[in-house]
Chain A
């Protein structure tokens, strides 16, 4: 646990100095004024929490201040921490009831799906599972090769198809191959697609459908890989993907960048999608289960 938290800390330390480092000075031993609220608004918006969540957080803090008769800005700090924490849930335990369990990774272009697939593969492998990769991104140049390199490094078999071939067929073959090899987990990497592209979203629907034909009940998990630097568009992405392929959870990639990933609040709050993992660096072990305390702590820079 200590090790885990420290990884979060190193991952986030570079990022937390900036905006939320100001929390401490903002919420110092002064009186709560209109300016305090303005500054707080600025901080939350700059962390990409979005207008709606920011105003909801401030509203509930203001209410608490009124009912508890608080006067000092310093007293807001723990309130703010608790308020933010209450808006995030622990990631649910992933149950591997099916064999193989099929996980579909989806997301927009460049969000980090392939890298995340590799990291997840290694993580589950270390938990003693046998893994198979399905390289269903037949569109982007060399995407299959990218996953193949990871497969070779990790000793994970990769099922792929020819460039421009039908991604549904690749997904189908991957699941079938996993059944034959008695693999525990199939990670299917799909092509990045903007959620506004109707045809590409239909294609994804088809991949989903084909997978369920290869194995009834599959895919057991559909994970949306979201770039932590994304702003307000993240919510639209999550909505669209959830509607198309029943996303079951979100992975926040690139949280080690300077962005704070504040859109996680809206996605969890408005869509009820849990944040499952966070990418905190380039190495496979840098993908960690989402830790809401560490996440809030990291952005508040306690």
Chain B
């Protein structure tokens, strides 16, 4: 069901090997796929309609660049249009007299309290004096949840029982002012935009503390209703930004596009995990890829770039192409890959069918396997690593004993290495063209 858009567009354009301009028929066929991809990503029906119309207009008659095939050309246009719609990430506005108030609002379970903790952490690391305000007297233990987070972060949490949230916010504000706090984050109860009483309450809170930022916290897994919900909150209070939470899951997060393009409220942060440091600003290109179902290829590339020691990479690439790839190089590569971060995170960034497969891999298994490979290669002599052909039965027994493994493990490793060598030779023959397929 969730095939990648790139793959499907390549199918659409498979028969067309010609170059030149994109015809109306080409574009229409492509737009059907784009439309499906967006609807599968939970982008609102009406937003999809407008978006597709815009892209269609740009794409018809567009020149297909020499470097791209027609499918890639359409993707490029779609991608660009989506990036333009998403816009650059807007910074938080922390201006005006202190304390500056950040108000969080959203449906039940969207992740407001966790987001409050994460924001507090960010502000504190910027040198602000932060106070958290527990404005949810309704859900049992909601106050305690925020208190626990405050304790962990060493940030004070303002609470008072028996006081209505607007008055509570005001009292907190006065205290923050007196205490010399620079930022005050108000967590509120989850509410539906249709609940008049609670929306009035939100309005009252906002009126009492005059927030510089009112952020709508929204679950990235949300469906078509995202748009109406955002509109409801926008009509009640002046929304200044959006936090899209639970982005570490596999939801595509089409709500971002719907809300952004209809209400104009900018996306400010993504919640990417349960830990308190998992709040990120967003990269429009990367988010666009994700909504389109193209995986986080850019993120993957960035991580690889950051972790890779360019010189070593260059050397091993040259060796690969010369067919001189040794066990030492292999170990180097594996070590570099590990530097990219926790394997579980890397695996999740891989798009498409390969990504599906990757998610079924147990990261712990892979780690274990890696340690074993490392131990085996470390137990070889230098000569053995460079010329593995000399590995006879007696050498293999010695290596197994030295690395605390079995001879079968050594044999398996050598088989894997031969396989890799074979692939390298293949790549050498095709000049690396086959690699693009990896991200199809």
Segment 216-250 of B: residues with Cβ below 8 Å from A: 219, 221-226, 228-229, 232, 246, 248-250
Interface flags for A184-204 (1: CB within 8 Å of B; 0: not) read 000000000011111100100
Report chain B residues within 8 Å CB of A108: 221, 246, 249
* Docked-complex contact A231 and B109, CB < 8 angstroms: no
Number of interface residues of B (CB under 8 A): 56
Report chain B residues within 8 Å CB of A230: 219, 221-223
Report chain A residues within 8 Å CB of B113: 141
Report how far A108 CA is from B376 CA in the complex, Å.
40
Report how far A70 CA is from B142 CA in the complex, Å.
55
* Docked-complex contact B111 and A110, CB < 8 angstroms: yes
Report chain A residues within 8 Å CB of B148: 141-142
Report chain B residues within 8 Å CB of A286: none
Interface flags for B29-60 (1: CB within 8 Å of A; 0: not) read 00000001001111011100000000000000
* Docked-complex contact B139 and A258, CB < 8 angstroms: no
Segment 149-187 of B: residues with Cβ below 8 Å from A: 149, 152
At the interface with chain B, which of A78-86, A145-153, A171-179?
Answer: A145-153
Question: A48 at the A/B interface (Cβ < 8 Å)?
Answer: yes
Q: Report A59 CB to chain B, min CB distance, Å.
A: 16
Segment 74-122 of B: residues with Cβ below 8 Å from A: 107-111, 113
Given known A42-B45, A51-B40, A140-B145, contact A198–B224 (CB-CB < 8 A): no
Question: B7 at the A/B interface (Cβ < 8 Å)?
Answer: no
B254 nearest CB neighbor, chain A only: A231
* Docked-complex contact B141 and A149, CB < 8 angstroms: yes
* Docked-complex contact A145 and B144, CB < 8 angstroms: yes
Residue of A45, A149, A231 near B221 (CB, 8 A) is: A231
A237 nearest CB neighbor, chain B only: B221
Given known A108-B246, A196-B250, A232-B223, contact A256–B192 (CB-CB < 8 A): yes
Q: Report A189 CB to chain B, min CB distance, Å.
A: 12
Question: A97 at the A/B interface (Cβ < 8 Å)?
Answer: no
B150 nearest CB neighbor, chain A only: A141
Question: B210 at the A/B interface (Cβ < 8 Å)?
Answer: no
Report chain B residues within 8 Å CB of A143: 141, 145
* Docked-complex contact A110 and B223, CB < 8 angstroms: no
> What are the 8 closest A-B residue pairs judged by CB atoms, nearest first?
A231-B223, A110-B109, A149-B140, A141-B148, A231-B42, A142-B145, A146-B141, A145-B141
Q: List 5 A-B contacts (CB under 8 A).
A: A14-B194, A108-B221, A145-B144, A256-B192, A257-B192
